[in-house]
Structure 1
Amino acid sequence: MEEQDIKQLWQAYDAQLQEALRVNENTLRELQTLKAKRAVRRMLWVKWLGIIVGIIWIAVVYTWVSIALAVHNYFFAASAGVHLVVTTVMVVTYLRHLGMLHRIDRAAAVIAVQEGLARLQASTLEVTRIGFLQLPVFAVFMLGWGVYNRWQIVICVAVAILLILAALWLYANISLKNAHKPWFRLLFSSPEWTQLVRAQTFLAAIEDYKGGEG
């Protein structure tokens, strides 16, 4: 067999190999994207549950605020009002998440799904950070419902200061750079976050496969 024939055979084999790799990559891309979208769909019930429970809770807290204002309990009204605002923000954010999940599910390109998941992840972290900012209000809920002695007030103020420090620390440290830490994994162990990470893992397998080819 002449050298030219060997080169032609090698080129034909290389072309077949490249085609097989391309087909495998396309198949992997479609399969992993399908798995990612399936994980995204599993997040829907968590979002809907949060919205429904949140709306009910908003109605309850609004009633409490109205009663507190009627009896001139401004400590409770102010703290419950802050909680009411934060809860409303979280419910509105969950409604936005439903739209984001719908767009991810309808996206055809892998890059569109990846970008949608990244935006959803960033929004989830942000709304969680905002939620923790309300921690101090729980220390002053009961002020105004009676007469307290000096030590009870001191304890309440001390707890409020601790909650303020905890809220600020959590707001500053809840980010992806701390995702490997135990406290972060404990906070974000919900089905919502778990399915989001799984979806991203499925898509990351595509990049791993492409990197392995290189």
Structure 2
Amino acid sequence: MEDTEILNLWKVYDKKLEENLSLNKKNAEDITKIKLHSHLLSMKPMKIFTIIVGILWVVFVDILIVIAFKFGVSFFLISAIIQVLLTKLAIGVYVYQLILINRVDISDSILATQEKIARLKSSTIWVTKLLFLQFPVWNTFYWTQAVWENGGIWWYVIQIPLTAAFTYLAIWLFVNIRYENRNKKWFGLIFRGKEWTPLMKSMEILEQIEEYKRK
């Protein structure tokens, strides 16, 4: 066999090898995208359940607010209004997240998918901040004028520090719940399960896809 024929065979073999490597790379990337999509879809049932429960809760509290308004129960009324407004905001965020998840497509570019996941991450952190802001009102809704006037010293000794602690905790969590603190133990206790774990796995998968593209 002449040198020219050997070189031609080598070129053909080299071309086929490159094509196979390219195909394997594409298949690996597609499989990884399917895994990513699966992780994101696994978040939907919990979010749908949360929205349904949230709507039922909001309807219930709105009814109580109307009743309290008629009877002039001021502490309960203020606490319930704050709580239900924060809950409605949270429901809106969950609906927004469902729309984002439904818009994620395996045929999307990496940049588009990264943007949607970044929004999911940011909105998950923000909805958690909002929900923790409810802490103080869970400690004030049962207050009445009569209790403050006739509760005695022990009422003040217990109630004032307790309300201050709830308020401090709500503000502290609102300020400190940031993605930069994700490796801290308290953050891990709050963010886990179907609301957070699939999101983190999706971000890891995106990094894998980027590695495939760099190779």
- TM-score category (smaller protein): 0.7 to 0.9
Structure 2 counterpart of 1:163: 166
Query: How far does residue 17 in structure 1 lie from its aligned partner after superposition?
Result: 4.7
* Alignment partner of 1:178 is 2:186: no
Letter in 2 for 1:119: R
Letter in 2 for 1:117: I
Which one of the candidate residues 195, 198, 207 is aligned to 1:192? 195
CA contact (8 A) 1:29 1:110 kept: no
Task: Choose 6-15 or 107-116, whichever is displaced more.
Answer: 6-15
Structure 1 counterpart of 2:76: 76
- The TM-score with structure 1 as length reference comes to 0.87
Structure 1: runs of 5+ lacking an equivalent: none
Post-superposition CA distance 1:40-60 (Å, at most 9, x none) = 111111111011000000011
Query: How far does residue 7 in structure 1 lie from its aligned partner after superposition?
Result: 8.1
SS in 2 for 1:119: helix
Query: What is the aligned length?
Result: 212
CA contact (8 A) 1:41 1:105 kept: no
Q: Provide closer, same or farther for how the CA distance between residues 151 and 28 of structure 1 changes in structure 2, counting only shifts above 3 A.
A: same
Which one of the candidate residues 138, 150, 154 is aligned to 2:153? 150
Provide the rounded CA distance (Å) in 2 between the counterparts of 1:11 and 1:142: 83
Structure 2 counterpart of 1:60: 60
Provide the rounded CA distance (Å) in 1 between the counterparts of 2:104 and 2:34: 11
CA contact (8 A) 2:29 2:212 kept: no
- The TM-score with structure 2 as length reference comes to 0.86
Structure 1 counterpart of 2:133: 133
SS in 2 for 1:108: coil
Q: Provide closer, same or farther for how the CA distance between residues 81 and 183 of structure 1 changes in structure 2, counting only shifts above 3 A.
A: same
RMSD over aligned CA atoms reads: 2.5
Structure 2 counterpart of 1:203: 206
Provide the rounded CA distance (Å) in 2 between the counterparts of 1:56 and 1:110: 38
Query: How far does residue 106 in structure 1 lie from its aligned partner after superposition?
Result: 6.5
Provide the rounded CA distance (Å) in 2 between the counterparts of 1:162 and 1:107: 49
CA contact (8 A) 2:132 2:174 kept: yes
Query: How far does residue 77 in structure 1 lie from its aligned partner after superposition?
Result: 0.6
Letter in 1 for 2:42: R
Letter in 1 for 2:144: G
Query: How far does residue 16 in structure 1 lie from its aligned partner after superposition?
Result: 4.7
SS in 2 for 1:199: helix
Task: Choose 76-85 or 183-192, whichever is displaced more.
Answer: 183-192
Query: How far does residue 182 in structure 1 lie from its aligned partner after superposition?
Result: 1.4
CA contact (8 A) 1:132 1:167 kept: yes
